[in-house]
Amino acid sequence: MLRVLTLSTLFPDATRPNFGVFVERQTIGLAARDDVELRVVAPVGLPPWPLSSHARFGALATLPRQETWRGLDVRRPRFLTIPGTGGRFHAAALTRALIPVLRAIRRDFAFDVIDTEFFFPDGPAAIALGRHFGVPVSIKARGADIHHWGRSRSTAQRVLAAGCAADGMLAVSQAMRDDMIALGMPGDRIRVHHTGVDLDRFAPRPQAAAKAALGVSGPLIVSLGALIPRKRHDIVIDALAHLPNATLIVVGDGPERAALAARVEALKLGNRVRLLGAVPHADLPALLAAADAMALASESEGLANAWVEALACGTPIVIADAGGAREVMTDRAYGRIVARTPEGFASGLSAVLAESIDPIAVRRGATRFTWAANAAALHAHLAGIVSARR
């Protein structure tokens, strides 16, 4: 029996049901195995008072310290985050907060390994905790944890040190693995670990009915992701100006919403662009299946779940050459990789919209990414580093 302690600051809760939903799904898949026992520690970072009383953090402060979440035993300890410090104190604060929590867990659950699902601040804290409790540590790289924290002046050394000290590492794509090696992490300890997709839920549907439910009659494009600068939703909005008959639905929320709304107004696209806001993950299959294309102009990615989920719905994707894009886009039926410019996206979307590709042919691009394969690979990886330590 493999006893796993999963550590992730990226994990859903009642206030943020979509936050790290892919970590949740991976963890559920691993925990479902007969040869695994698992506990989850999902720390919640809060600033000092009086900032912690702000509406943005107030709901987080009320989360239960321990609960059963989707069948998982989840602890939600708090740790201190200090705004304006570039994250330089986060890992130390997280380590201090977690030592007593893990000590209590270990009284009746002698975990064999710490499975860390985000590189910062989780990774450096996990290394310290692994040394404290004498267990091996795995750290998974997903995207911003390497591309931002791994290159930020205040945290880069901690990220690199954690990678060099880890017993094993996971990368969501070969491109992410290459980026980790370029930072100085040992490649012989990094395994590519692709995401999964629920092929039963994310599947083609009658498109006309799906569009009618959205009040759309012509070509429909969906752009899916947080409204933050690196997702570059502005490029897809600009591209729509060159696609006069198309409608664009942008799914997600974040600090860029006001700027994107202003851009839509300036381009006089208000009747063809909808900023839909955050959508429950359970509602995404119907939206993606209604679309004629999914477009995402991200500046950086690991391997975006949105790419795979769109393909599973039979919806081709038009994306920039970021992260594992070329590992997903292995057939022309799946869509296009284009220049990260409005003209590049307009051209790629025009080409996709002009073709009549069988949704089943598009869906084949997602059948390589299953949660069963994801769980089996994760188990093999964790069991291997536990065996090597012994």
Q: CA nearest 185: which of 102, 123, 275, 94?
A: 123
Higher pLDDT, 59 or 227: 227
Residues 303 and 265 in one domain: yes
Residues 124 and 249 in one domain: no
Residues 179 and 217 in one domain: no
Domain count, the chain: 2
Token pair 């002046």 in the structure block, residue = 153
Token pair 């959508």 in the structure block, residue = 279
* Residue 88 confidence (pLDDT): 86
Q: CA nearest 306: which of 179, 208, 172?
A: 172
Q: Is residue 202 part of a domain?
A: no
Q: Is residue 201 part of a domain?
A: no
Average pLDDT on 99-117 reads 97
Residues 39 and 145 in one domain: yes
End-to-end CA distance of the chain: 14
Mean pLDDT over the full length of the chain: 94
> Could you tell me the residue range of the domain that residue 104 belongs to?
2-196+370-389
* Residue 253 confidence (pLDDT): 92
Q: Give the three-state DSSP class for 170.
A: strand
Query: Is the separation of the CB atoms in 39 and 73 below 8 Å?
Result: yes
* Residue 316 confidence (pLDDT): 98
Residues 347 and 374 in one domain: no
* Residue 50 confidence (pLDDT): 64
Residues 50 and 163 in one domain: yes
* Residue 57 confidence (pLDDT): 75
Q: Is residue 33 part of a domain?
A: yes
| Residue 171: CATH number of its domain | 3.40.50.2000
Q: How far apart are CA 92 and CA 193, in angstroms?
A: 28
Could you tell me whether strands 72-75 and 335-338 are parallel, antiparallel, or unpaired per DSSP bridges?
unpaired
Which two tokens mark 168?
Answer: 């094993």
Higher pLDDT, 84 or 90: 90
Q: Is the pLDDT of residue 239 over 70?
A: yes
Q: How far apart are CA 234 and CA 261, in angstroms?
A: 10
Q: CA nearest 95: which of 49, 132, 59?
A: 132
* Residue 51 confidence (pLDDT): 65
Average pLDDT on 193-217 reads 93
Residues 347 and 297 in one domain: yes
**65: burial class by Cβ within 10 Å (0-12, 13-18, 19+)?**
exposed
Per-position DSSP letters for 282-331, written without gaps between them: GGHHHHHHH-SEEEE--S--SS-HHHHHHHHTT--EEEES-TTHHHH--S
Residues 56 and 76 in one domain: yes
Average pLDDT on 91-112 reads 96
Residues 141 and 249 in one domain: no
Q: Is the pLDDT of residue 53 over 80?
A: no
Residues 137 and 254 in one domain: no
Q: Give, in order, the Cα–Cα distances in Å from 38 to each of 80, 330, 341.
A: 26, 35, 45
Residues 6+ apart with CB under 8 A from 61: 46, 52, 53, 78
Buried b (16+ CB within 10 A) or exposed e, 81-102: beeeeebeebbbbbbebbeebb
